[in-house]
Structure 1
Amino acid sequence: MARRPARADPGGAERRSGVLKIGAALAVVLVAQALLALCLVSAQQLLVPRNMPFGVTGPPSPVVAAVASRGGLDLTSYPDESAVMDAAGRGELYGAYLGQKSSDTLVVVPAKSFFAQTELEPAFLAAAHKLDRPVTVRKVAPLASGDPVGAVTSLLLLPLLIGGYLAAVLVFKAAHGVAAAPWRAAILIGYALVGALLTDLIAGPGIGAYSSSHFWPLLPCFWLITSAVALAAAAVQALAGKLGTLLVAVLFIVVGGPPAGGLGTYLLPVYWRNIGVLLPPQNAVTLVNHVLYFDGNDITTPLIVLFLYAAAATAVIAWFGRVRPARAATGTGAPQLPSPSPGRTAGAPGRRRAVIGMLAALAVCTVMQSLFATTYMSAGHAPKASDLPFGAVGSSPVLAAAEKNISLKVTEYPDEAAARTAMDEARIFGALVPSGGSDTLIVVPSMSDLAPLDLAVRFEEAARATGHRLQVRQYAPLPLVAKDPFGLVQALMLVPLLIGGYMSSTLLMAATGRAAGRWRAAQLAGFAVVSGLVVDLIVCYWLQGFPSSRFWITWPICSLIVAVVAFVAAILQKLLGPIGTLVTVVLMILLGNPSSGGASGVPYLPAFWRDLGPYLPPRNGYILLHHTIYFDGHGTSQALINLLIYLGVAAAVLIVLDLSRTEAEVPTDATEAAAVSVPIGAVP
């Protein structure tokens, strides 16, 4: 019997193609999210001195030998005190030790790295005390009042780096993929000046992160940094097309951002420091820091690197935009005739549309760069405690004296055990336990990376003023793991979770050509489960960023955060189209992430950010992660309820929108969508 011919199934082929596109889009997001988590956490989870430049002079000191024996310092001998002080003043050293006959001097350089100072000073003072050697501390290049922990340099990198990158991406889109148009370099350099000026105005005179005397010296630095990034991105686009935008995002943002070294390059793992020196972000941080605090000394290397990036990129753009087309035209031998008049007339509206599109793209970029400069700088440049929850067991004049210099919200406890219970439940950041003429200050390092140091400094000052003895002790319900001594990991891993959430929705929109679909909620929920597992595996087992006993409870929390952000992004994209991605970025990254409190803690946020945080997912996600890992889930009820409300309402709305049949196609290129969404917020 003759075999019947198989019937064509165009619908089935189309469905299979759609499934493959969706799978490929989500795989791209998963890889980007995993790479971002790996880079961010591995670069910054363990910030300790590594081959840190340190000067010594005078007779050999047993104090230096005791500290150096633990490793981490690269000692350089200087002939006299003047030479070592000059080197410290130029920003070449993180500290120095001046050996003398009767007493020694420890030189610290806070502007080089505030966190390096917090490592070096206690180590040297403890060693000197043990060896019964008198030591005085001298500061070189102290930090400004508007930058008490040295955060300004790294915060300035955010708008400069992301502004330059987005300018290249959005101009490329507005030019319909013509990456090497001859005018493109000039436009990007012009935008870089505008972006640099706005960043300088916002951070300096606007917010007061640095004095007005630094406005003009920093402006050309900002211009160079933004130009180098924008031009390099445009050059890679000229070489690799649309894929070039994603490549630059990976190189400059995902890989280049974490080793920028805003907290001190010699606190980074050695391999990350060596990677960073080849890329613009680390050179940008060094340039800005040395202009801001070291009178522009020792900036030759970062200037050369940034100028090389800008010059090489300009040459590539010129080659593809002018030289190669001109040679190709000459090689044909065809005469170059002027276009006829009708062609010119027909082309005029197109040119006007291109110009309008370009201006609109640059306007969007200007707004985004200004927002990054405003939000992150205003939230984090000068952390100062306000109503810091604190416990007291009995009365002490030390507490009254300390409250003159730090804002505390004091709760009385009947005994030390009750105070420790409050610490176990994440209700207080520390406690004072008086005992006769000697008081004990208990601090909780797993609550905050900044509060223990802040409390110790203020209470030690108060103890000296009142003539009391003070002992400082650390206490944590679950001690910080060896590879997360400052409790930074949860704040770092929050970033890839947020980005993975809205990036998954964005690339699904690009892959399907629609902002929603019948199975969109299920697809995003499935991705959230997998991506939460991947981030959890990388941070817990690969990087050992938190105790393995918390692996299983951390997985659903990570997935919950991803799902909430993904559902919100999908709703906004359904209602607003591709611009919904930008709105999501504003809500989750520009407003939500700065208001999360991060590793320093909510009490160190300014009032606006402290009050805003509870209404947005990032604050709730961070508290749920952090308190579950280090405080057995105490104090997480409100955060969990808020996230579940977000999830339930967003899922219901998204399902209703998915079932509607009024969906219009959204023309979005997948590579372009990935390139735009990857870098936002990826620089810590």
Structure 2
Amino acid sequence: MVSQAPLTDDASVSSPWSVVTRAVVLLTLIISVLLTAFAWPSVRSSVHDVPIAIAGPAAAVQQVSAALSQRLPDAFDITVVADTAAAEQLIRDREVYGAIDVSTGTPQVLTASAAGVAIAQTLQGVGTALSQAQADGVAPAVAVRDIVSLPADDPRGAGLAAGALPLVIGGMLAAVLLTRLVRGSARRVVGALAFAVTGGLAMAAILQFWFGSIDGTYLANAGAIALTVAATSLTILGLESLFGYVGFGVGAATMMLVGNPLSGSASAPEMLPGWSGALGQLLPPGAGGQLLRSTAFFDGNGAAHSIIVLAGWVIAGLVLCVIGAQRVRRTAAPVAEQPVLATV
């Protein structure tokens, strides 16, 4: 005779309500952190301490500077130059984001949309407002010249802004896959560096030849992307080798929840609230975005800071990987000696 096992009471195997409560609270905290990390920089963004130039005679420069200080206090960090050529050179060298040129009498706005579309639009609006005020309500035509413009195939810079997240995700995925599939710290490091090169070549080709979002030298753009991916992946790999899953979680959260929102890729670091823009430029996503702008549109000008930051993260990741590998060897040595002692 076949006996049927009694049906299991669902209530006897269900989780306690306290577990459900903790899960709901944890999920609420996670979604709140995600919303804050990605929305706060955009909601609180404004123009502050944006470096610009004013070209013209001393009296006109003083008048424009006073008007700017009155309309937008603490919005601009002003550099005074003699003429239009000097202002254009500062823009091309990435010393300033744009300029207001009053050297010819009629205000002229010089912008660089490749350095940041939001700041270029702000400068255009400021120039129009100043010209209206100077003309006593009769607005003359204001000449706006884009000194370093974005490509015609992507005039809003959408591809460049959207490419910041794949750079972070690519570095994280490299760390995850290499940790799970590859054994040996040296092989993981080589794999991360090799992926940085191939990933940089692939992403630069997509952005430059397919989307038309960047200009400049292809290999220089690929090198900028490769250095960014290497900085991200090696840092996370090093933290994982030293602290395990906790280190991976800390590294991934730092790059994704802090570095990416504060990178300033969608606007400019100077438009982020408070100290967040400066902090973002010390992390791989922010430094990598600025480096790619320099190689793509400014012939590498202004790239020194970003290169130093990214190289520092690469070196830090390599050091962490070496320390983690040495710790693994020290831990494995006593375990390897146990069978020998048992045999004796």
TM-score by length of 1: 0.44
| 4+ long deviations beyond 6 Å | none
Cα 1:351–1:432 change in 2 (3 A) is: closer
| Counterpart selection for 1:603 from 249, 263, 270 | 270
Partner of 1:578: 245
1:456 aligns with 2:124: yes
Query: Are residues 443 and 403 of structure 1, via their aligned partners in 2, closer, same or farther at CA, if it must alter by over 3 Å?
Result: farther
Q: Counterparts of 1:464-543 in structure 2 under 5 Å? A: 464-467=132-135, 469=140, 471-477=142-148, 479-511=149-181, 517-543=185-211
State the alpha-carbon separation in 1 of the partners of residues 133 and 116 from structure 2.
26
SS at match of 2:217: helix
How far residue 662 of structure 1 moved from its aligned partner, in angstroms, is 5.9
Quote the offset at 1:490 in angstroms: 2.6
1:375-404 residue CA offsets vs partner (Å, 9 max, x unmatched): 222211142100111111124334432332
Are residues 432 and 424 of structure 1, via their aligned partners in 2, closer, same or farther at CA, if it must alter by over 3 Å? same
Structure 2, unmatched stretches of 5+, are 333-344
TM-score with structure 2 length normalisation? 0.83
2:249 matched to 1:587? no
Q: SS state of the match for residue 404, structure 1? A: helix
How far 1:361 moved relative to its partner?
5.6
Deviation at 1:643, TM superposition (A): 0.8
The 1:654–1:471 alpha-carbon spacing in structure 2 relative to 1, beyond 3 Å, is same
1:428 is aligned to: 96
Amino acid corresponding to residue 66 of structure 2 in structure 1: A
- 1:646 is aligned to 313
Return the alpha-carbon distance in structure 1 between the equivalents of residues 23 and 324 of structure 2.
Answer: 29
What pairs up with 1:627-666 in 2 under 5 angstroms? 627-659=294-326, 660-661=328-329
**Matched-pair identity in %:** 25
Map 1:236-385 → 2, pairs under 5 A: 337-339=6-8, 351=15, 356=19, 364-385=26-47
1:363: how far off?
Answer: 5.0
Alignment-derived partner of residue 615 in structure 1:
282
Contact between 2:150 and 2:213, CA under 8 Å: does it hold in 1?
no
Q: What is the letter of the counterpart of residue 153 of structure 2? A: K
**CA deviation string 1:582-629 (max 9, x = no partner):** 322321121111211113111111113123123211111111111111
Report how far residue 523 of structure 1 moved.
1.5
Contact 1:456–1:472 (CA<8 Å) still a contact in 2?
no
- The SS at the match of 1:596 is coil
Confirm or deny: 8 A CA contact 1:431 1:441 kept in the other structure: yes
Equivalent residue for 1:54?
none
One-letter code aligned to 2:220:
I
What is the RMSD computed on CA atoms of the aligned residues? 2.9
Q: What's the CA shift for 1:510?
A: 2.9
The equivalent residue for 1:313 is: none
Structure 2: how far apart are the matches of 1:615 and 1:599?
17
Where structure 1 has 5 or more consecutive residues not aligned to the other structure, the ranges are: 1-332, 665-684
Give how far 1:557 is off: 1.4
Instruction: Output the CA distance in 2 between the equivalents of 1:414 and 1:401.
Output: 19
**Cα distance in structure 2, aligned partners of 1:521 and 1:362:** 39
Structure 2 match to 1:401:
67
2:97–2:111: 8 Å Cα contact kept in structure 1?
Answer: yes
- Describe the superposition over 1:488-532 as per-residue Cα deviations: whole angstroms up to 9, x where unpaired: 3332222111101011111222335x7x64421112111211111
CA distance in 2, matches of 1:363, 1:582: 19
2:94–2:298 Cα contact (<8 Å) kept:
yes
Aligned length: 321
CA apart distance, 1:458: 2.4
Instruction: Say which SS state the counterpart of residue 438 (structure 1) adopts.
Output: coil
Where does 1:18-33 land on structure 2 (aligned, <5 Å)?
none
